[in-house]
Structure 1
Amino acid sequence: MHVGKSYKFGEFLFWTRRKVYVLLVLSIVPVVLYETCGLEWISIPWTVVALLGTATAFTVGFKNTQTYNRTNEAQQVWTSIVSFSRSWGLFSRDFFSSPATTKELIYRHMAWLTALRYEMRSSRPWETVDKKHNTEYQRLFHVAERETPLEAELGKYISNEELQEVLAASSITARILSNQGKLLRICYDEQQMQIAQFLEMEKGLKEFYISQAKCEQLKNSPYPRQYAIVNRFFIRLFCLLLPFGLLKDFDQFNEVVDGVMKGHMVWLVVPFSIMISWMYTSLEQIGESTENPFEGSANDVPLTKICRDIEIELRELLEEKDLPPKLYPQNNILL
């Protein structure tokens, strides 16, 4: 997540420059054919291009709205996880007289948070984080989940025996929550807690299951491919036809101008075509980079930061002194 005032224009231009190169070629070729080769018949009526541009603007706007909603939903889910985690820490401390039980419940919860963020950072075929323009930008930050194995992180919070058990499970996160439930039942059977307290903490586990399912739904359900391909097709078609639609209009300017540009006004199609097309392609690229809120890009929900803050708060509840350091933005990017 970018936490600065805004992206710098140079950063944005660097990120989108490959499309600019393609647009440069697409705009020069029609002008050369029209001006140098005398193929004036290749000009397309501007009305046709304008209608296509209008339809394309609607599809681009629709996609960007929906992808923003996906990111917003992801942020809301993790806000709920933060709230429920704080409650879990308080209940674990106040409901039990045994410090060992309190610590086990809190540490296992931190293991669940770790397993969940690693699951969210795993790759999917439709994600775009490995595209060239995104991998180049990643030189400005690093993704912690790609640098440290999950096993090493989980080993900080649970025993080696439980670690091997959860790693062998089909769903590591679900198995960790299941083990939390087992411990709660043991504590209730041993009369370490009352029925009301037991039900309250079981309700907390239910909320964690719900939040996990919402995260998995966002992670495993891409933006509908039928809308994505239509959006991409319309933009490419518009960028291809735009310079053809501008040829005759700019050529007519030769009748009203004097000086060095007289007779050569059609060459202004190149910069204006690039500028208009770049706006459309950039909006598409922005929507594409926003539709997967957990993939590890600069526009992600900052899972690592959220989990680290929760861990610090929970360890403070245990009155621990050796706390992990807070995470800060790297070049205004917070993950």
Structure 2
Amino acid sequence: MHLGKTYRISEFLVWTRRQIYVLLAVGGIPVILYQVLGLRWLTIPLTVVGLLGTAASFIVGFKNVQTYNRTADAQQVWTSILNSSRFWGICVRGFVAKPADTRDLVERHAAWLTCLRYELRTPRVWESMEKASHAEYRRAYRIPEREKSIDEELCKYLSEEEQRQILKVSNKATQVLWLQARALRRLLDEDGISLTSYIELNKILKEFIEQQGRAERLKNFPYPRQYAIINTIFVWAFCALLPFGLLKEFDKLNEGIAGFMQGSMVWLVIPFSATISWMYTSLEQVGESTENPFEGSANDVPITQIAKMIERELKEIIGDADLPALPEPTNDIIL
């Protein structure tokens, strides 16, 4: 998540510069064929390009709305996790008699948050973080889950036996919730909590399972691939045909031009077509970087920060002085 007022124009240009190079080449080839090689028939009506541009703008707009909704859903999920976690801490502090048991339940909840964020940061085939533009920009900020292994993080919260039990399964977050349920049952059997408290705490565990499922849905089910590919086809078809539609229009400008540009106005097709096409490709790239809200891009939901904030608040509730440090933003970006 970007915490600054806005991205700088220089950042955005660097992020999209590979597309700019391609668009300049796409605009230059028709101009060379038309102006240098004399293929004056190599034009298409501008109205055809306009219709394609209209269609492309509709589908780009549709995609960006849908991908923004995915990010908004992810923010809502983690806001729900934050609120439920606060309620968990309050209930654990109020219901559980022994401070040691209270601390275990809070630490295990921090382990669940850790397992969940590591699972959500695990790359998927359809994600775009390995593309050159994203990989390059990734050097400007930190992804905590790629700096430390999950083993290093879990040892802060769990016993060695519980760590071994969790690390050998595929869905570690679900396993932690099962350990929480087992611990609550043990406390009930040992009269560490009342039956009413046991039922209430299990209701909160059920909320955590539902929230985990909603987060996993956003992670494991991508923006529909059929819409993604048709968006790319329409945008690049428009970018490829736009210079052909502008050739005659700029050639007509030679009639009223004198001086060194006389007869050379067609060359302006290159910068103008690249600029117009860049607007479309940039919108597509923004949508692509928004559709996977947990992959580790600069625009992701800051799940590491939220998890650490929850951990700090829960430890403050139980009176623990050993509070974890909150992540610091790097170049105004925090995850």
Q: Indicate the TM-score class for this superposition, using the shorter chain for normalisation.
A: over 0.9
State the shift of 1:93 in Å: 0.6
- Write the deviation string for residues 180-207 of structure 1: whole angstroms up to 9, x where unpaired: 1111122222332223221111110000
Letter in 1 for 2:215: C
Find the residue that maps to 1:287 and give its secondary structure: helix
For 2:300 and 2:170, the matched residues in 1 are separated by 26
Q: State the aligned residue count.
A: 335
Q: Which residue of 2 aligns with 1:262?
A: 262
Q: Which residue of 1 aligns with 2:33?
A: 33
For 2:142 and 2:328, the matched residues in 1 are separated by 12
Q: Is the 8 A contact 2:97 2:193 kept in 1?
A: no
Matches within 5 A, 1:308-327: 308-327=308-327
Q: Which residue of 1 aligns with 2:95?
A: 95
Q: Which residue of 1 aligns with 2:298?
A: 298
For 1:198 and 1:152, the matched residues in 2 are separated by 31
For 1:166 and 1:18, the matched residues in 2 are separated by 43
State the shift of 1:331 in Å: 0.1
Q: Point out 4+ residue stretches in structure 1 off by more than 6 angstroms.
A: none
Find the residue that maps to 2:112 and give its secondary structure: helix
Structure 1 segments unaligned to the other structure (5+ residues): none
Matched, 1:81 2:76: no
Matches within 5 A, 1:164-183: 164-183=164-183
Q: Which residue of 2 aligns with 1:64?
A: 64
Letter in 1 for 2:326: K
State the shift of 1:292 in Å: 0.5
Q: Which residue of 2 aligns with 1:45?
A: 45
For 1:325 and 1:112, the matched residues in 2 are separated by 18
Q: Which residue of 1 aligns with 2:17?
A: 17
- Write the deviation string for residues 275-296 of structure 1: whole angstroms up to 9, x where unpaired: 0000011111111111000001
For 2:326 and 2:269, the matched residues in 1 are separated by 52
For 1:14 and 1:53, the matched residues in 2 are separated by 25
Find the residue that maps to 1:42 and give its secondary structure: coil
Matches within 5 A, 1:245-256: 245-256=245-256
Find the residue that maps to 1:297 and give its secondary structure: coil
For 2:327 and 2:179, the matched residues in 1 are separated by 29
State the shift of 1:231 in Å: 0.4
Q: Which residue of 2 aligns with 1:227?
A: 227
- Write the deviation string for residues 257-278 of structure 1: whole angstroms up to 9, x where unpaired: 2222221111111111010000
Letter in 2 for 1:329: P
RMSD: 0.9
Structure 2 segments unaligned to the other structure (5+ residues): none
Q: Which residue of 2 aligns with 1:287?
A: 287
TM-score by length of 1: 0.98
For 1:131 and 1:169, the matched residues in 2 are separated by 30
State the shift of 1:167 in Å: 1.2
Q: Which residue of 2 aligns with 1:153?
A: 153
- Write the deviation string for residues 154-213 of structure 1: whole angstroms up to 9, x where unpaired: 111010001101111231111110111111122222332223221111110000000000
Q: Which residue of 2 aligns with 1:237?
A: 237
For 2:168 and 2:275, the matched residues in 1 are separated by 53
State the shift of 1:322 in Å: 2.4
Letter in 2 for 1:23: L
Q: Which residue of 2 aligns with 1:109?
A: 109
State the shift of 1:226 in Å: 0.4
For 2:326 and 2:169, the matched residues in 1 are separated by 31
Q: What percent of counterpart residues are identical?
A: 55
State the shift of 1:256 in Å: 2.0
For 1:76 and 1:59, the matched residues in 2 are separated by 26
TM-score by length of 2: 0.98
Q: Is the 8 A contact 2:123 2:295 kept in 1?
A: yes
Find the residue that maps to 1:41 and give its secondary structure: coil
Letter in 2 for 1:82: L
Q: Is the 8 A contact 2:142 2:334 kept in 1?
A: no
For 2:265 and 2:88, the matched residues in 1 are separated by 69
Q: Which residue of 1 aligns with 2:5?
A: 5
For 1:130 and 1:299, the matched residues in 2 are separated by 15
State the shift of 1:75 in Å: 0.4
For 1:215 and 1:96, the matched residues in 2 are separated by 29
Q: Is the 8 A contact 2:71 2:290 kept in 1?
A: yes
Find the residue that maps to 1:40 and give its secondary structure: coil
